[in-house]
Amino acid sequence: MEHKGTVTLETPRLWLRRLCPEDAEAAYRNWTADAQVTRFLTWKPHESLEATRRLFADWCARYADPMFYQWGIVPKLLGEPVGSISVVRYLKEGSCAELGWCIGRDWWGQGITVEAVAAVLRYLFWTVGMPEVGACHDVNNPNSGRVMQKCGLHYRMTLSGQGTNNLGICDLARYSLTLREYDTYKLLGRG
């Protein structure tokens, strides 16, 4: 495994790229200030544009770290970020990356998140050599679980009372996919 950091990824409809303070206004308008978007997340909606600018400035400083993976989700036809996807933590002594994502309400149900997650999985498995990638969701947010399933991740377990988000303590459904499972999934033409 060789960490390579956040590089630009392209899909048929999207650019996944680094976010910078200049993206803050679009991000604030599209998702960071929306309490509905952050409902099942661990961070509160931003109360000001300045909060988004500060966050993106911090991310810009961290992009030099090859273990930092944080992408803005940018539809090509729009040209501005509508969400983000990142490695939120490492498990199993760094051999498993856990993904997290969020996307503005105007882009829910369009397959954009699935397309972004699939691109990040491909990059983490085939370019970085990550042995396993996982994700968790509040059991009361099944849409996030459907994204995981559509990308080939397997349900592993439910962790009762092990998560917290803006609604309080929650049960987490854990999904993951190993490199070997991913290669088989791609070989069978499912991804």
pLDDT for residue 189: 59
CATH architecture of the domain with residue range 9-187: 3-Layer(aba) Sandwich (3.40)
Domain boundaries, the chain: 9-187
Tens digits of per-residue pLDDT, 75-128?
999 999 999 999 999 998 888 999 999 999 999 999 999 999 999 999 999 999
Measured CA angle at 102 (ends 96, 105), to 5 deg: 155
Q: Which residues contact 4 (CB under 8 A, 6 or more apart)?
A: 66, 127, 128
Q: Can you read off the two tokens belonging to residue 99?
A: 């993904």
Q: What per-residue confidence (pLDDT) applies to 186?
A: 67
pLDDT at residue 190 above 90?
A: no
User: Is-contact 151 137, C-beta < 8 A?
Assistant: no
What are the tens digits of pLDDT across the range 11-70? 999 999 999 999 999 999 999 999 999 999 999 999 999 999 999 999 999 999 999 999
- So what's the pLDDT on residue 93? 84
Q: What is the pTM of this model?
A: 0.93
CA gap 136, 23 in Å, rounded: 27
